[in-house]
Amino acid sequence: MEKFIVEQCGPLKGSVRIGGAKNAVLPVLAGALLTENACFIRDVPNLSDVEAMGELLTSLGASIEWNRQEGIINVVVDDLKQNEAEYELVGKLRASFLIMGPLLARLGEVKVPLPGGCAIGTRPVDLHLKGMAALGAQIEQAHGFMTAKAKKLKGAKIYLDFPSVGATENILMAAVLAEGQTIVENCAIEPEIVDLANFLNAAGADIRGAGTDTVKINGVKYMKGTDHTVIPDRIEAGTYMVAAAITRGDLNINNVVMDHVKPVTAKLKEVNMHVEETPQGIRVYHKGNNRVIASDIKTLPYPGFPTDMQAPFMSLLVTAAGTSVITESIFENRFMQVGELKRMGADIKIESRSAVVEGVKHLTGAQVRATDLRAGAALVLAGLQAEGSTEISDIYHIDRGYQDLDTQLNKLGASVTRC
């Protein structure tokens, strides 16, 4: 198994370009199953999750060509016949469940195992199934598989009990080929939802209101191919923003949509960092020798503070002056990095769904394990400021969501060795 050896470093300096968003690419790839001509998807990050989604689509009959150097995937799904996903492929990533909507819409029947992904808490698919049933599908569960059948999906009015990103995406994709109009209320408004809608509209769909809590989808009969560039990854951008803060550095982070990182920007300013918009993206830098100061955080659906940034930001607050309280309201098991940070000298107490972080003056390097994707990134960030060496195992989690994180950090002045 590969691992990272992270050495304490000085202030990170330089520029880094943010790649396409993993959480936008995966639903767009699933959405390509609705089309009958070639789709060119650009700015695709070279990640293991993208690889897994490509394998899944290939198993269903799609033809995929991936130019990793250029970051372009060409998807052709002109002869889609397979409606059952393999258990081994679906178990690799959570986003695999997003094939349900497209396959149901195009083939009238789909059989999908319950999905895998990071063990950060229960993420039930009941809202996905509620949406499919509202559109006229019959749902059955047996032997670990979910089966949905419908001779023809029909538009409906759907209210989501919680603004689930995955359910919104799945319902949206299922509805584009349904008869009549579908209205989805209390849906997620994340930028990745907007990106998916833009892709589908370019391919012939009629979706209005993406990015608001009510989306209207007028069903169409046919979806064509298209050329689409995915949005920048706001979580990758946020991670480098925090890296600048942790090392008291000065980074230009390019290819960033400023609106997408507003909550991270606001919190960095609260803790004593400077964030400025630039023509290419943003600049994050620290002035003077003062420690960053404590701040309270509560994760919320977009446009609130993203749950994916909770662990990386905790690595900053563990050495901040004062006491911080971090409340996780999205997933109930997303403090898995806490035990590892405590091995490095952090002072953190868990109280229900909140973590009380008492800032310490410094961390020390230790042997730690990446328990999930964002926890792994948090440990890398902690290692940048810890005295001595930090050895991080199970870094395959990190490779799921960050392309060449070690190489990029080293270009900025870090010392991260992949062993």
Backbone phi, then psi, for 290, in 5-degree steps?
-70, 145
Is there a catalytic annotation at residue 118?
yes
Instruction: Specify the length of the chain in residues.
Output: 419
Quick one: tokens of 100?
């349900």
Closest alpha carbon to 154 in 209, 108, 222: 108
Bond prior to 303 in cis (omega within 30° of 0): yes
> 9 in helix, strand or coil?
coil
Number of alpha carbons in the 13 Å side-chain half-sphere of residue 224: 7
Please answer whether residues 328 and 310 qualify as being in contact, where contact means their C-beta atoms are separated by less than 8 angstroms: yes
Look at residues 357, 382, 352 and name the one whose alpha carbon lies nearest to residue 367: 382
The per-residue DSSP string of 25-71 comes to HHHHHHHGGG-SS-EEEES----HHHHHHHHHHHHTT-EEEEETTTT
Closest by CA to 388, choosing from 132, 126, 6, is 6
User: Residue 331 contacts by C-beta under 8 Å, 6 or more apart in sequence?
Assistant: 120, 121, 123, 307
The Cα 196–Cα 210 span in angstroms is 9
Q: Looking at 9, 39, 118, 187, which residue is catalytic? A: 118
How far apart are the C-alpha atoms of 126 and 357, rounded to whole Å? Answer: 34
Asked if 134 contacts 159 with a C-beta cutoff of 8 angstroms, the reply is: no
* Cβ partners under 8 Å of residue 266, min gap 6: none
Give SS3 for 225: coil
User: Which strands sit side by side in the sheet containing 281-285, from one edge to the other?
Assistant: 13-17, 250-254, 281-285, 274-277
* Half-sphere exposure (Cβ direction) of 113: Cα atoms closer than 13 Å: 16
At 373 the three-state DSSP class reads helix
The residues, ordered by sequence, that sit 6+ positions from 347 with a Cβ below 8 Å of its Cβ are: 318, 357, 358, 359, 360
Q: Which sequence positions are flagged as catalytic?
A: 118
